[in-house]
Every structure is written in C-alpha cells, then in structure tokens.
C-alpha cells in the first residue's frame, strides 16, 4: 500500500505526497475580502503539502458571509491572489481555490448582501458572525430557477478568475451546511420542483455546479468536498448513505479529479459521527482520487491508506501550527499545538509565527 509520503496524481495535478492541506478559514483578508501580503507568507510556509486546498473563498457578495474571508469575484481580489499562488509554486507546491457559497449562513448586515438565499425558506440556528459581533440568523429566501442559473454563472466566473489568479484548479465546497449541502440534505430542502424531493433531484444542483466548473477548468482540475455524516450548521439528512453514494457517482460521471470527504470518527475513534461511516459507499461509487478528512494524524492517516479506505488524507488543524507537516510525519517529529484563540483574530500572531521543526 502507498505511504503518505508517496506521490499521487489528482487528475492533472502531480502531488508530491499524499499529505494534503485541508481548507482552513483564518479571516486574514481585508474587510473588502481582498487577500493580504500576510497570506502570501502563510501559504508559502505550507507549500510542502502534496496539495494545498485554499481557505473557503467567496464566489460573490451574495455567497460570502464570513468577515475578513477572501473572495474571488473582483479584479482586485484576483490580483491579490496571484502573489499567493506564485509563492506556493516557487516552493514546488500546488494550490487549488476552494469556491464557496454559504447560502442561508450569510447575514444581511454585511454590506451589499440582502436576504440570504437557500434551497428553501429556512433559517440557520444560532448566531451569525458579523462585523458588529454575533447576531441571530434570518430566514433565507427559497431560490428560483433564475436564481440557480445566476449562481451557476457565478461559479463559472469564479472558476475563470481562479485560473487567472494562478491556481492549479478548484475545489467546490459542497459540505458543512453551506448552499450546496442545503440542497443535498432533506432537513433543509423542502422543494417540490426538480431540485427537491427525490435523491436524483436533490443532487441536481451539485451536479450542475460541478459540470459548470469543470467546463471552465477541466474536470481533471476540479475537486469537490462533501460532509455526509453528522449535522453541520443545522443541516442533516435522514438517510445519507444512498444520497451521498448517488452524489459520488454523479461526480464520477463528470470526471471530477478528487473527492474530499469530511467525516468524523465513529465509536472506537473520536465518536463524533452519528452513524457508521458513509465514505466506503462513496469510495466504491467514485473513480477518481478519494481523500478522507477529519481528526487524522500521521499514524491514523497511514492506517486509512493501508486499509484501502482512501488514496490521500487532508489535514486541517495540524497544518495551522505545523507548516512543515509532511516532514514531521516522515520523521516522527512531535506536532506543535495550535492556539484556538488566534484562529480568526487577524494579524500575524497564531498565523505565520509557527516555526518549522528544528
């Protein structure tokens, strides 16, 4: 079986190892969602990953509801991403842009947002992050088919912009209770048209987004992230196994290069998942590279490869405090702990000041 340190092809992308960097929101862009110089250093420090999946990046003002998260819909944003991708490439790395529409998670208090949109007129539970602090979420407006076509155009333009910014490809964020997940899972999708009801209808929006993006960047440079198991931001499904098996098969038909599955452990691991893993059925239905994510370390990640459960592992939090994570895994160097208090605070502290191992 392959090692985490062995190379792998992710479609057209020749990754030098199977230690991928998962997307990590860090809130270091400007108030106008423009990447900053500090982000150049942050990503360059982590270029030894087989592939960097960028932090979630908004495709439009309508779709971005996280303060100080980056976007990729304006010329200024595209230009500011170019030094990031160039720095990663100069160090021999690969980086794709994770394209993000948050759906009902967006709060209308953010400038220019208006009422959020979703598959159905629902409200996310809890409080939204805004520039003024935390505020209750508001009810989303159910998207019309004209709305859906407009968002598909936004995805196409964001994919074009990602190529212009120098990214090696894109990943579609279809997980964690955001817009595409709000169409997929049945406790958020109450539509009675061709985007709701049956599994075939509920995966239609995902399939259309993936086809639209693949049309621009090529399916061999397109990835997708899904989260089949457990409630995420109030979004869940009563029967996820056949749903996500069908979604995986649909993505495979399009020729998507890699599928990243965020699924917490069950029982004997960390016990966060609500049911046994859905990933095995997804892997069987998907012909591209299969990537597992959530709470893996070097040993458990290698065990997943040894068991044939995945082709690569994406690591999130370990990359925050360990910019040289592949080297640490290769040489069994203890991992540094990250400071949760600095995840979203802005500034260099807890962002670019974690040193590599001596």
Could you tell me which of 45, 40, 60, 133 has the C-alpha nearest to residue 100? 60
* CATH class of the domain comprising 8-342: alpha beta
Helix (H, G, I), strand (E, B) or coil at 241: helix
Residues of the chain where predicted confidence (pLDDT) is lower than 70: 267-271
195 φ, ψ (degrees, to nearest 5): -105, 10
Q: What is the pLDDT of residue 115?
A: 97
Residue with tokens 């004997």: 268
Q: Which of 43, 155, 178, 195 is catalytic?
A: 178
Q: What is the pLDDT of residue 265?
A: 81
Q: What is the pLDDT of residue 274?
A: 83
Could you tell me which of 173, 125, 116 has the C-alpha nearest to residue 143? 116
Catalytic residue check, 195: no
Could you tell me which of 326, 294, 322 has the C-alpha nearest to residue 309? 294
8-state DSSP, 336:
P
Which DSSP string do the residues of 314-338 spell out, in sequence order?
A: EESHHHHH-TTHHHHHHTTPPPPPP
Ramachandran area for residue 20 (φ above 0: left; ψ -120 to 50: alpha; else beta): beta
Q: Which sign, positive or negative, has the C-alpha torsion 110, 112, 115, 116?
A: negative
Q: What is the pLDDT of residue 270?
A: 53
Q: CA distances (Å), 163 to each of 14, 137, 149, in order?
A: 17, 34, 22
The fraction of the chain above a pLDDT of 90, given in percent, is 95
């Amino acid at each position: 079986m392959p090692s985490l340190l062995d190379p792998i092809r992710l479609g057209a992308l020749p990754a030098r190892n199977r230690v991928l960097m998962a997307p990590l929101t860090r809130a270091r862009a400007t108030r106008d969602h423009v990447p900053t110089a500090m982000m150049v250093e942050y990503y360059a420090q982590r270029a030894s990953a087989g592939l960097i999946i960028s932090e979630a990046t908004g495709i439009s003002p309508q779709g971005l509801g996280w303060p100080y998260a980056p976007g990729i819909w304006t010329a200024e944003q595209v230009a500011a991403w170019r030094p990031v991708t160039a720095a990663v490439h100069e160090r021999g790395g690969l980086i794709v842009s994770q394209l993000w529409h948050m759906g009902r998670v967006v709060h209308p208090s953010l400038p220019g947002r208006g009422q959020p949109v979703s598959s159905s007129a629902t409200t996310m539970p809890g409080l939204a992050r805004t520039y003024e602090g935390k505020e209750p979420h508001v009810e989303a407006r159910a998207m019309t088919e004209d709305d859906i076509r407009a968002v598909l155009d936004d995805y196409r333009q964001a994919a074009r912009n990602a190529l212009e910014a120098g990214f090696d490809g894109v990943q579609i964020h279809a997980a964690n209770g955001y817009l595409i997940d709000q169409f997929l899972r049945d406790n958020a999708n109450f539509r009675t048209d061709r985007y709701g009801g049956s599994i075939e209808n509920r995966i239609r929006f995902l399939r259309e987004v993936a086809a639209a993006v693949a049309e621009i960047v090529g399916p061999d440079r397109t990835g997708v992230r899904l989260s089949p198991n457990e409630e995420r931001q109030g979004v869940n499904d009563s029967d996820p196994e056949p749903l996500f098996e069908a979604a995986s098969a649909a993505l495979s038909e399009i020729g998507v290069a890699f599928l990243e599955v965020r699924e917490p452990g069950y029982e004997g691991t960390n016990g966060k998942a609500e049911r046994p893993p859905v990933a095995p059925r997804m892997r069987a239905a998907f012909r591209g590279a299969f990537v597992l994510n959530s709470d893996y370390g070097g040993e458990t990640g290698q065990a997943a490869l040894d068991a044939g459960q995945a082709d690569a592992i994406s690591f999130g939090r370990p990359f925050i405090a360990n910019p040289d994570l592949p080297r640490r895994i290769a040489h069994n160097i203890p991992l540094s702990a990250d400071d949760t208090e600095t995840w979203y605070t802005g500034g260099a502290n807890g962002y670019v000041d974690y040193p590599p191992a001596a």
